[in-house]
Structure 1
Amino acid sequence: MRAFRLLCLGLLLTSGLPALAQAPTGLPAPDPAGVDTLRARKRVYTLFKPVPRALMRPLSTDRPDATESAYSVDAGHFQVETDVLRLGRSRFVEQQSAQQELGFNHANLKMGLSHNVDLQVVVESYTVQTEGEGDAGTRRAGFGDVTVRLKRNLWGNDGGPMAFALMPFVKVPTGRKCGNGAWEGGIVTPFSVQLPHYFTLGTQFQATLNRDGEAREHFLELAPTLTVGHDLYKTLGGFVEIATAWDTRGRGWSATLNGGPVLRLGENLQLDTGINLALTKDTPTTYFLGFSFRR
């Protein structure tokens, strides 16, 4: 519990620092003078004085891959990223049981607070969880947990070949039937690189304090990821990703191979679909369909 309080303190401290997912394309040329000029012009805008559309950076989302974007939402603008539908299935070999989770509108609501900071609220709108099979199975359904995140871009927000951010988060146990009833949290460090020929490389390291209900204590989970995105056409792109997690209680690694297409319908709207294919046992394979929109 003490470690979790320290984590919450870190969240507050990070919010006071100087202020791939799908990394944006079409960024300003990495000319230091040009980047500095653009940054200086945009620093005057705030939550209540939105950045003009002509100065907004390209749409960059934390979905559909597990690797978060290193870019923040422009000050004063609102962005919605949601899983319209997400289906996860896993089979536990040793226990000879199965688990399925069906999620509807698990949404990430994002608001640009300043030039380099945005606030995010992740809401699990409705979830149906089933365990076991046949008459022996159990079913739970309802509103899930809420996660509050604060993304702070440290460099590369408005130009240059690389971008890096810090994003602490806290999960609030609002789900009565779907959730573990515990406060959890951690920090994510997304990093993005623009590569030649319309390729992007994204990676991150995530450290999370999860709750072990049986042991009644928190434990540390470490989760590095690596993703490569490519624009096939102006409106069509795709990604391939390796996402892993290490349970420090000694239960080993879990890993998935993720991928799917991304369809951009203008500057402020994109659709995506894909699969997270389990590479290790007792890991769910997940199928998803979603969209992202900003204004």
Structure 2
Amino acid sequence: MGLLTLPGFAWAQDAPKASPYDSAHFSWRKPVPRNRLREMQPDRPGVTESPFTVDAGHMHVEIDALRLSNSGTGKAEQQRDWSVAYTLLKLGLGRRTDVQLELPVYAVAKRRPTGTREWQDRHTGFGDVGVRLKHNFLGEAQDGSFALAAIGFVRLPTGGTTGTGGTEYGLIVPVDFELSSKANLEIQMMAAGLYNREAGRYLSLTPSIALEYDFFEKLGLITEAVAQWDTAGRRWEPSVNIAPLLKLAPNVQLDAGTHLALSRLADRQYFAGITLRR
């Protein structure tokens, strides 16, 4: 679905002209000129997000075109989730801040007890909407070796039976270290108050670390280690993400990858997506 929008967002694909980034006097009503745009830095495809915001007055459309998630084989209940066109809309408000809207366009959620063959519970429809605000504290110009930001979010129970059933909220703190012109190391901590229909409310902690390496101008790779702990299960669930990046143009990026479980409790995922900048 997201690929159909590609022609409408892929204009102005010439490489940005070399000029210093200075958007202090720009806003969402007065966009940064295209010859001053920084390199596009999406929050997808991994768990670890970028500390860089969208340039003032511009938009990102980051789409999980398709994602399949299977729960760990060691859990008492097996869960399989499909999401289609899970969309993150981002608008640059100023030099350091952007606002984001999560739109889970279509989701399929299935459940069954471990050891059985037939899915006993199946729900489809629109998912839970989220609102996020990102603010960069250090390194917004992308011309240094260190950057730091914070992302606050709230997710509303708009998805009915396909959603969690309760309001969720949290804080994400991503950090970026530029190792070289081709490599970046990103570290993140996420703390969230989540909701489960059986367990009720619980606290989740998710540290992650990712290495992004650009082999060529248009081809890169993200490798990522993730661990999740929560007060409901009180155990760590480690996993690894691997995702190649295809940077078709300064305003278009494709990605695909897998979320590999390192324990019988961690989820396994497969995904493909696209990021567009306007």
TM over 0.5: yes
**Residues in 2 aligned to 1:68 and 1:104: alpha-carbon distance in whole angstroms:** 21
What does 1:46-195 correspond to in 2, within 5 Å?
46-93=27-74, 95=76, 97-132=77-112, 134-135=117-118, 137-158=120-141, 159-195=143-179
**Residues in 1 aligned to 2:47 and 2:118: alpha-carbon distance in whole angstroms:** 35
Q: Tell me the residue number matched to 2:180.
A: 196
**What amino acid is the match of 1:161?**
S
Q: Tell me the residue number matched to 1:247.
A: 230
Deviations along 1:39-92, one digit per CA (max 9) or x if unpaired, are 6x3111000100001111100010111101000000000110011000111244
Match of 1:285 among 265, 268, 276: 268
**Residues in 2 aligned to 1:184 and 1:261: alpha-carbon distance in whole angstroms:** 30
**What amino acid is the match of 2:262?**
L
Three-state SS of the structure 1 residue aligned to 2:187 is: strand
Q: Tell me the residue number matched to 1:275.
A: 258
Higher normalized helix content (fraction of residues): 1
The alpha-carbon distance between structure 1 residues 221 and 136, as it changes in their structure 2 partners (threshold 3 A), is: closer
Structure 2 length as normaliser, TM-score? 0.88
**What amino acid is the match of 1:68?**
E
CA shift, 1:176, in A, is 1.1
Structure 1 length as normaliser, TM-score? 0.83
The alpha-carbon distance between structure 1 residues 214 and 250, as it changes in their structure 2 partners (threshold 3 A), is: closer
Identity fraction in percent: 37
**What amino acid is the match of 1:117?**
T
**Residues in 2 aligned to 1:139 and 1:124: alpha-carbon distance in whole angstroms:** 17
Between the two proteins, the alignment pairs up a number of residues equal to: 260
Q: Tell me the residue number matched to 1:206.
A: 190
**Residues in 2 aligned to 1:293 and 1:237: alpha-carbon distance in whole angstroms:** 17
Three-state SS of the structure 1 residue aligned to 2:38 is: coil
Q: Give yes or no for contact 2:199–2:232 (8 Å, CA) kept in 1.
A: no
Three-state SS of the structure 2 residue aligned to 1:151 is: strand
**Residues in 2 aligned to 1:153 and 1:252: alpha-carbon distance in whole angstroms:** 32
**What amino acid is the match of 1:46?**
S
Deviations along 1:176-198, one digit per CA (max 9) or x if unpaired, are 12112101101000000111251
Q: Give yes or no for contact 2:165–2:196 (8 Å, CA) kept in 1.
A: no
Q: Does 1:294 align with 2:277?
A: yes
**What amino acid is the match of 2:173?**
T
CA shift, 1:270, in A, is 0.5
CA shift, 1:249, in A, is 4.1
**Residues in 2 aligned to 1:64 and 1:278: alpha-carbon distance in whole angstroms:** 17
**What amino acid is the match of 1:270?**
Q
Structure 1 gaps, min length 5: 1-25
Three-state SS of the structure 2 residue aligned to 1:252 is: coil
**Residues in 2 aligned to 1:50 and 1:210: alpha-carbon distance in whole angstroms:** 36
**Residues in 2 aligned to 1:78 and 1:202: alpha-carbon distance in whole angstroms:** 23
